[in-house]
Each structure stands twice: as structure tokens, then as C-alpha cells.
Chain A
Amino acid sequence: DAGVIQSPRHEVTEMGQEVTLRCKPISGHNSLFWYRQTMMRGLELLIYFNNNVPIDDSGMPEDRFSAKMPNASFSTLKIQPSEPRDSAVYFCASRMEGGNYGYTFGSGTRLTVV
């Protein structure tokens, strides 16, 4: 099992540019989460998908953020336009509903907006 796969690992972009982060969850996991981690705010849940359907996006900070899950093996988080305050590490996590409900996190994408 390759675990949760995120790409890219690092992204440096200029303010105003579009950024797309990608995630492949663990096969068989039917729940997917996008988190953002900063020193100031810790881990914040942005959006949660269950069976490819967005269930709760109340954590998405602004309309500049959008997320999709077109199938069970792929999700994207898009920021358009990006701003310096979006700089953070973005984690994707997946889990199987039932069981211990613990997450498996991907390696994260470190985003820097200059």
C-alpha cells in the first residue's frame, strides 16, 4: 500500500496565480479530508468528502478555495487567485468509515505564495 499520495511536495508561486494540489487516497478508503497546517492555527479542516461527495466545506476560508473529487482515487484542492496568507502545509488524509476512524495523512504540500 503506497499510502496517501500528494503532489507536488513543494510549490512556490506568485501572488495571484492559480495553484492546484492533488491527492490520491488509500484504495478502499471512502472518506477524504483536506487540512491546512500553520504555526499560528495548527491543523484546520478545510473540506471533507464521503464517497466522493463533499459533505462539509465550512472550513474553506474563502471562495478562492475549491475542491473536487471526481472519483474514488483522486481529489484536487485549488486556490485561485493565491495570496501570501495562503502559505501553509496542505495535507490530504483518508480513512475507511468504521473501525477506529483514525486518519492516514499524505506527506503534504508545502505552499509558499510570494
Chain B
Amino acid sequence: QKEVEQNSGPLSVPEGAIASLNCTYSDRGSQSFFWYRQYSGKSPELIMFIYSNGDKEDGRFTAQLNKASQYVSLLIRDSQPSDSATYLCAVNTGGFKTIFGAGTRLFVKA
């Protein structure tokens, strides 16, 4: 079982819709959770982090964490074509070690 799992996609949504990206993790002791966005040919860029159960909102982005279900998600409201990228879920299992998922490719159709 992979430590951090994501659906590879592609996930295709129309412009203006809500994109929902999901991630599960295996280490129940994981403490902090991150979402990175990676455009094709570019480096990953941190867009959200969350530590506590519940929702965290930042502009059009909402991160959701459910530690009991070992599940973290990212919602993108009013999706724009510029949101088309690969979204990487990353989980810090304690100390320095952060494990990345394989990423979900998102396409936002204009």
C-alpha cells in the first residue's frame, strides 16, 4: 500500500465549477498535510497546508482534513483554466519526513 494515494486523473471540470481533489494516507500518526501545485515543466509550489481536522479556506481554495478517515482533500471553487496543473498531496509523518503522492492532473475547460 502506498503511503500517500491520489487518483492520477485526469480530472476534467468546466470553467467556474468546483474541482475536488482527494488524498488518503496510511500513517495514522501523520501530523501535517500540504497541497502543492505543479505546472507542466515547473517545480511544485505550496498552495495550502492544514494541521487540524476540519476546513481551512484561502481564497478560492479550501483544504479539508479528516484524521479519523485518514483523508485530506482540496476544493477549488470557481475553477479557472489557469488552475490546470498537477496537484500533489504531501504528508508529514513526523520530524523532517514528508511523503508526496503521485499527483492528480486537473484540466479546467474554458
Task: Name A residues whose Cβ lies closer than 8 Å to a Cβ of B.
Answer: 31, 42-43, 45, 48, 50, 55-56, 91, 100-108
Report yes or no: A101 in contact with B100, Cβ–Cβ below 8 A: no
The answer to whether the Cβ of B42 comes within 8 Å of any Cβ in the partner chain is yes
Q: Does B66 contact A (CB under 8 A)?
A: no
Bound-state Cα–Cα, A31 to B98, Å: 13
Task: Tell me the nearest residue of chain A to B8, going by C-beta.
Answer: A42
Partner of B101, one of A42, A105, A106: A42
Task: Report the Cα distance A102→B44, complex, angstroms.
Answer: 11
Whether B103 and A101, one on each chain, are in contact in the complex, defined by CB atoms closer than 8 angstroms, is: no
Q: Which B residues have a C-beta under 8 Å from some C-beta of A?
A: 32, 34, 42-46, 49, 88, 92, 96-98, 100-103
Chain A residues whose C-beta falls within 8 Å of the C-beta of B45 in the assembled complex: 105
Contact B97 A45 (CB under 8 A): yes
Q: When the two chains form their complex, are residues A103 and B46 in contact, meaning their CB atoms are under 8 A apart? A: yes
Known: A100-B32, A103-B44. 19 other contacts (CB 8 A): A43-B44, A45-B98, A48-B96, A48-B97, A56-B97, A91-B43, A91-B44, A100-B49, A101-B34, A101-B49, A102-B46, A103-B46, A103-B98, A104-B46, A105-B43, A105-B45, A106-B43, A107-B43, A108-B43
Within the assembled complex, what's the spacing in Å between the Cα atoms of A107 and B43? 5
